Amino acid sequence: MRIKTACAFLLSMSLLARQPEHARHAMVVVQEPLAADVGLRVLQSGGNAIDAAVAVAFALAVTYPYAGNIGGGGFLLARFADGRTTFIDFREKAPLAATRNMYLDSKGNVTKDSLVGWRASGVPGTVRGMELAHQKYGRKPWAELLDPALKLAAEGFPVSYSFATSLHSENEMKLLSQFPESKRVFLETAHYGDKFVQPDLAATLKRIRDRGASDFYEGETAQKLAAAMASNGGLITLADLKAYQAAEQEPLRGRYHGDEIITAPPPSAGGVGLLQMLGMLEGSGYEKTGAGSAASIHYVAEVMRRFYADRSEYFGDPDFFKVPVRKLLDPRYIASRRSSIDPAHATPSGQIRPGELGAHESTETTHFNIVDNDGNAVAVTYTLNAGYGSGVTVPGLGFLLNDEMDDFAAKPGAENLFHLIQGEANAIQPGKRPISNMTPTIITRDGKLFLMLGAPGGSRIINGVLQVILNVEDFHMNAQDAVDAPRFHHQWMPDMLYVEQGISPDTVALLRAMGHEVSPLEGSSPVVARVETILNAGGWLQGAADPRGNGKAEGY
C-alpha cells in the first residue's frame, strides 16, 4: 500500500510536470511580474545582482504592497562569483520606548496591538539595508535603481486580478478600512483593471532617490513619520529612526551530501533550523521510500517537530541573547535528537521538549532571487509581517508600516500570529530585533552556485525551504517540480501535521495510522510557504516561480 501511494504520487507529478524557465546567463525570480521585469532590465543594462535586487526591492514596494515595502525589513544573502559571501540584516527593531508587557491588557492577556495599528511597528530597516548593499556592492548609480519604482508609482500600473482580490478580500478590507489613509490610498483607488497611481509614494521615493536613506531616517520622510506616530499613539520617534543601522555579518554555513549550504544566521531561526533538520535527515535513509511517500513525510515531520521545539526556547536577537548555535548544530546533539525518532510512529509533541544542550499562517512576506551574468547570486526575503502589515499607511507618505512587533513573544509561552510559542529569549526589549523565520539560502556544489531559494510563509518558511532542498538533493527533481510538489508542515505545537492539497487521501490515512493528527490546509492559508528557486544545472539556470503565488521567473 505504501509503495502504491508513492507510485500514484510520482505518476501525477510527471503528468503535471512543468518546465522551469531556462536561461544561459542571468535569471530573476520575483513574486510580482512587473518587479521581475524591472530586475531583468537592470541586469540586461549592465547592472549586477545587487543592483537588480535593490531595484526589485523598491519596485515591489510599489507593485506588491501586500509584502513589498519600505516600511518593513528583512535579510539579503549574497554569494559573489569569486566565492565571497555576505548577509545584510535589515530586520526591524523594537522602538526605544517599547516595553516587555506592552501588548498585555490589565488581566495579562495578549491584545491585538502587536498586529494592527500604530503600536504594532518595529523601526523599518529596508531603506538602510538596500543602501548598505548598494554602497558596498552595487555598480549602477543609486538613482538609476530607484527610477523604475518611482515611475511605477507616479505613472501607475494596471491592477492585476491577484492584487485586486488580495486587497479586497474580507480580511484585508477589514484591516485597511480601519485607517482612513489606507482606505483612501488603497481600497478606494486600486480596482481590478484600473491604473493604480500612488503620488504620495512617488514623492517619498523621489526624496529617497535624490537624498538617499538619510531622507527616510533623518529627513522629511523621517519627520513626517515620527510626527504621525506621535499623534496616533505610536512609539517610533525621530531618535529611533536616526539610530537605525542595517548590519552586515557572516552567513551561517553547513553541508548536506557534501554541498555547502549558506544561509541566514540569527536573528533568523531559519538557517539554524534548516541545518539542524538536514543534519537529522542526512544518513537516515528517509528518502528510500520515495518523494511523497507516507514514510518519508512521517520522518521529515518528526524532524520538523524536534527543531520547532528548540525554536520555542533557544532563539532571540543575538545582540541580547546568546543563541547556542554551535550546540544546536553539534553533530552529537543532532544524532541524539535523530535517535528519538521512531520510523513507524509519531512521537506526541507533549513528549518532545526543547533539547538539553548542556500561523493560522498568512503568507505575506516576499522573497526574490537574482543571478547575474557574472555568477553573482543575491537572495532577498523582506516583509511587513502580516499581509499589508499593521494596516497603517503613513499620511502623505504613501507606504504601509509593518507589524513585526508580533514576531516577539508578547507573552513568553503564549502563541503569536503563526501559533508559534516563543520563550524569554524573544521577549520585547527596546532596540531588539524579533526572531524571524526568513531563510534566504544559497547552496554551492564543487565551489559553484547550485541552488538558491527562499520564501514567505511565516512559521512555514523554514519547512517550505527544507522540502524544496530535499526535492532537489534527494529526489533529483528539476527546479519547477521541486517547487510544485505538494508540501506539509509540522511546528511541534500545535501537535498537528498540516498537508497541502495534492498529498493523497491514501497517504493521509497512512500518516494517521502512524499516529499523526493530520489537518488538510484550506481556507485563507492553504499553502506551506511560496518558495522561489533558481537551480544551476548542466550549464543552464532554471528559474521556478511557485505556482502557489503569481510570481515570474525570467532570464536571458
Q: Are strands 73-79 and 377-383 parallel, antiparallel or unpaired?
A: antiparallel
Q: Which helix (H) or strand (E) holds 21?
A: strand 21-23
Please identify which residue in 31, 365, 376, 542 interacts with ligand GLY, judged by CB under 6 A: 365
Residue placing its CB nearer to ligand GLY in the complex, 126 or 436: 436
Please identify which residue in 89, 131, 317, 407 interacts with ligand GLY, judged by CB under 6 A: 407
Supply the minimum distance, in Å, between the C-beta of residue 418 and ligand GLY. Answer: 7
Supply the minimum distance, in Å, between the C-beta of residue 513 and ligand GLY. Answer: 33
Supply the minimum distance, in Å, between the C-beta of residue 20 and ligand GLY. Answer: 26
What distance in Å separates the CA atoms of residue 462 and residue 23, rounded to the nearest whole number?
27
Size of the site for ligand GLY (CB under 6 A): 9
Please identify which residue in 437, 463, 533, 542 interacts with ligand GLY, judged by CB under 6 A: 437
Q: Which helix (H) or strand (E) holds 2?
A: helix 2-16
Supply the minimum distance, in Å, between the C-beta of residue 359 and ligand GLY. Answer: 9
Residue placing its CB nearer to ligand GLY in the complex, 125 or 543: 125
Annotation says 365 is catalytic: yes
Please identify which residue in 60, 246, 438, 468 interacts with ligand GLY, judged by CB under 6 A: 438
Q: Which residue type, as a one-letter code, is found at position 330?
A: D
Binding segment (CB under 6 A) for ligand GLY, from list 30-38, 97-105, 282-290, 431-439 = 431-439
Binding segment (CB under 6 A) for ligand GLY, from list 170-178, 206-214, 387-395, 433-441 = 433-441
For residues 164 and 130, the answer to whether their CB atoms sit within 8 Å is no
Question: How far lies 447's CA from each of 204, 262, 296, in Å?
Answer: 42, 12, 30
Q: Which residue type, as a one-letter code, is found at position 541?
A: L
Of the candidates 5, 63, 365, 366, the residue annotated as catalytic is 365
Supply the minimum distance, in Å, between the C-beta of residue 367 and ligand GLY. Answer: 11
Task: Tell me how far apart the terminal alpha carbons of the chain are, to the nearest angstrom.
Answer: 45
Please identify which residue in 86, 289, 296, 385 interacts with ligand GLY, judged by CB under 6 A: 385
Contacts of 229 (CB under 8 A, 6+ apart): 118, 235, 236, 237
Question: How far lies 444's CA from each of 48, 79, 189, in Å?
Answer: 19, 9, 45
Site for ligand GLY in 447-486 (CB under 6 A): 458
Based on the shown chain and the rule CB under 6 A, indicate whether residue 69 belongs to the binding site for ligand GLY.
no
Q: In terms of residues, how long is the chain?
A: 556
Instruction: Give phi and psi for 327, each to the nearest 5.
Output: -70, -40
Binding segment (CB under 6 A) for ligand GLY, from list 212-220, 280-288, 434-442, 536-544 = 434-442
Site for ligand GLY in 14-33 (CB under 6 A): none
For residues 159 and 190, the answer to whether their CB atoms sit within 8 Å is yes
Supply the minimum distance, in Å, between the C-beta of residue 365 and ligand GLY. Answer: 5
Residue placing its CB nearer to ligand GLY in the complex, 436 or 504: 436
Based on the shown chain and the rule CB under 6 A, indicate whether residue 383 belongs to the binding site for ligand GLY.
yes
DSSP assignment of 60-100? HHHH-TTT--SSSEEEEEEE-TTS-EEEEEE--B--TT--T
Closest alpha carbon to 134 in 304, 482, 447, 380: 380
Binding segment (CB under 6 A) for ligand GLY, from list 35-43, 81-89, 435-443, 494-502 = 435-443
Supply the minimum distance, in Å, between the C-beta of residue 437 and ligand GLY. Answer: 3
DSSP assignment of 209-241? HHHTHHHHHTSHHHHHHHHHHHHTT----HHHH
The residues annotated with a catalytic role in the active site are 365
Residues making contact with ligand GLY (CB under 6 A)? 365, 383, 385, 404, 407, 436-438, 458
